[in-house]
Amino acid sequence: MPEVSLIATVVGALAGFMLGGIWYGPLFAKAWMAENGFTMEDVQKDFNPAKTYGLMFVMSLIAAYVFGMFLGPNPGVGFATGAGFAAGFFWVAFSIGTNYLFERSSMRLWLINGGYHTVRFTLIGLAFGLLG
């Protein structure tokens, strides 16, 4: 079984979860909704917070845990944070960007969503660097 810090996993997942609330709340909510063509009513329609946030947190835990497997035990702050940035930007954001090209989504939407995942994985890496 791989050596993965459960404390770093939970802290990294929580950091990404809290970042999402800020990122898609006060920072970029209006821009994100505009780029998707959503209104506040669209976003709130049939929204189940317990289900949405619960599943999102489970996915965050899994992503953080698997990233911890990739980093290995005690990766060091510099390596783990840099690897988190690289994973978020070059793996996640660029993968999203590939879809956006074919969907003809805007660069602005890519910057919002890709930026979130870049910062999210950087925070997960930081958690493993400090606590792993």
> Tokens 């783990």 identify what position?
80
pLDDT for the residue 82: 98
Mean pLDDT, the chain, rounded, equals 96
pLDDT at position 115 is: 98
Q: Read off the pTM.
A: 0.94
Inform me whether the pLDDT recorded for 1 exceeds 80. no
Task: Give the model confidence (pLDDT) of 69-118 as tens digits.
Answer: 999 999 999 999 999 999 999 999 999 999 999 999 999 999 999 999 99
Residue 8 pLDDT greater than 90, yes or no: yes
Q: What is the mean pLDDT of residues 16-34?
A: 97
Residues 6+ positions from 68 with CB-CB distance below 8 Å = 2, 4, 5, 8, 9, 12, 128, 132
- The values of phi and psi at residue 38, to 5°, are -95, 150
116 and 60 in contact (C-beta within 8 Å)? no
Are 130 and 75 in contact, with CB atoms under 8 Å apart?
A: no
* Structure confidence at residue 2 (pLDDT): 80
